[in-house]
């Protein structure tokens, strides 16, 4: 059997095929769907960042939460705080956009998805790619994908804030507890899906029990790892479910804030 080491010429060569692939199935469908889904999210996100209808008591649009600018309505501010001074005049969503965006952009699943759908590198298994060379994630700029584990900690903060917003949505406009509208349900479902996606992260799996030699000596960490591993097996599904849920929740709150959907059913 031929050994393929890093120095081996066998490893350096690609299969010399005249056609792009020998596959006869619809291999292009998955990358095309990923491209459409991610483009829809990017276009919506761009619109939402500049849309000003991000808060209507008791609902807070996820794309603008936490609201940290002085332009945020007092009830929309996290614990009433506005740490950025009057000098900050851009939309408040821009302040926190980088945290969930960085988390998803560096996610192991999304990396596979957008490398295939946007870079065509390669577009699918056993399909030739248009690029002449492959340098992987070992050098600039893709080496920065390794900061994913740090984005995980920031994503936990964002998930906590969205959960807090979901809890506050059980209050009515006057601040009394007991409200239950469609918006409440949508925000709660979104918070749950965000947690399922966040906790299923490969970095979270490593944090819970990575480098342990004996599970039997760490029963709690073993339990946590078992739970995270189950979520991790469905990471792709939760990635998409939470992507759409956050978009739906955000859009719904804006429709209520604009008066297109009205209370008491909202
Ligand atoms: Fe997907 Fe960490 S691997 S969120």
How high is the pLDDT of residue 59? 97
How high is the pLDDT of residue 1? 39
How high is the pLDDT of residue 154? 98
The rounded distance, in Å, linking the Cα atoms of 224 and 71 is 41
Atom of ligand 1 lying closest to residue 104 CA: 4
How high is the pLDDT of residue 263? 72
How high is the pLDDT of residue 18? 76
Cα of 202 to ligand 1 centre, how many Å? Answer: 5
Atom of ligand 1 lying closest to residue 108 CA: 3
Interface predicted TM-score (ipTM): 0.99
Phi (first) and psi of residue 171, to 5 degrees: -95, 155
- Which one of 199, 200, 240 would you pick to mutate in the ligand 1 pocket, going by the greatest count of ligand atoms within 8 A of its CB? 200
How high is the pLDDT of residue 12? 58
Cα of 54 to ligand 1 centre, how many Å? Answer: 27
How high is the pLDDT of residue 128? 86
Cα of 238 to ligand 1 centre, how many Å? Answer: 10
Cα of 235 to ligand 1 centre, how many Å? Answer: 8
Residue ID of nearest Cα to ligand 1 atom 2: 201
How high is the pLDDT of residue 2? 41
Prediction pTM value: 0.91
Cα of 81 to ligand 1 centre, how many Å? Answer: 30
Place of tokens 């073993």: 222
Cα of 108 to ligand 1 centre, how many Å? Answer: 5
Pocket of ligand 1 (CB under 6 A): 107-109, 148, 152, 201-203, 235
∠42-96-61 over CA atoms, to 5°?
Answer: 70
- Whether omega before 58 lies within 30 degrees of 0, making that bond cis, reads yes
- 224-244 b/e with 16+ CB inside 10 Å = b? bbeebeebbeebbebbbbbbe
Atom of ligand 1 lying closest to residue 103 CA: 4
Percent of the chain at pLDDT > 90 equals 79
- Among candidate residues 181, 158, 186, the one with its CA nearest the CA of residue 170: 181
Atom of ligand 1 lying closest to residue 203 CA: 2
The rounded distance, in Å, linking the Cα atoms of 117 and 24 is 19
Atom of ligand 1 lying closest to residue 152 CA: 2
Residue ID of nearest Cα to ligand 1 atom 1: 107
- Among candidate residues 93, 45, 87, 40, the one with its CA nearest the CA of residue 65: 93
> Which residues fall within 8 angstroms of residue 37, CB to CB, at 6 or more apart?
240, 243
Cα of 68 to ligand 1 centre, how many Å? Answer: 26
Weakly modelled stretches of the chain, pLDDT under 50: 1-8, 10
């Amino acid at each position: 059997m031929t050994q393929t080491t890093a120095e081996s010429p066998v490893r350096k060569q690609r299969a010399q095929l005249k056609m792009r692939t020998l596959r006869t199935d619809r291999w292009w469908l998955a990358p095309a769907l990923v491209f459409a889904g991610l483009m829809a999210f990017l276009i919506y996100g761009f619109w939402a960042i500049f849309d000003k209808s991000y808060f209507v008591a008791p609902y807070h649009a996820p794309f603008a939460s936490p609201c940290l600018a002085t332009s945020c309505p007092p009830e929309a501010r996290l614990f009433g705080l506005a740490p950025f001074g009057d000098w900050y005049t851009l939309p408040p969503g821009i302040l926190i956009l980088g945290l969930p965006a960085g988390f998803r952009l560096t996610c192991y699943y999304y990396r596979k998805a957008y490398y295939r759908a946007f870079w065509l590198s390669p577009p699918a298994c056993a399909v030739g790619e248009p690029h002449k060379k492959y340098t992987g994630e070992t050098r600039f700029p893709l080496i920065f994908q390794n900061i994913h584990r740090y984005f995980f900690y920031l994503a936990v903060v964002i998930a906590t804030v969205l959960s807090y917003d979901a809890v506050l949505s059980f209050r009515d406009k006057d601040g009394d507890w007991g409200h239950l509208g469609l918006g409440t349900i949508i925000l709660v479902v979104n918070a749950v899906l965000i947690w399922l996606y966040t906790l299923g992260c490969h970095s979270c799996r490593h944090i819970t029990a990575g480098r342990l030699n004996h599970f039997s000596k760490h029963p709690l960490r073993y339990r946590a790892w078992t739970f995270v591993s189950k979520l991790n097996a469905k990471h792709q599904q939760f990635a998409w479910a939470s992507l759409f849920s956050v978009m739906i929740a955000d859009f719904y709150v804006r429709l209520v804030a604009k008066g297109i959907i009205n209370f008491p059913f909202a």
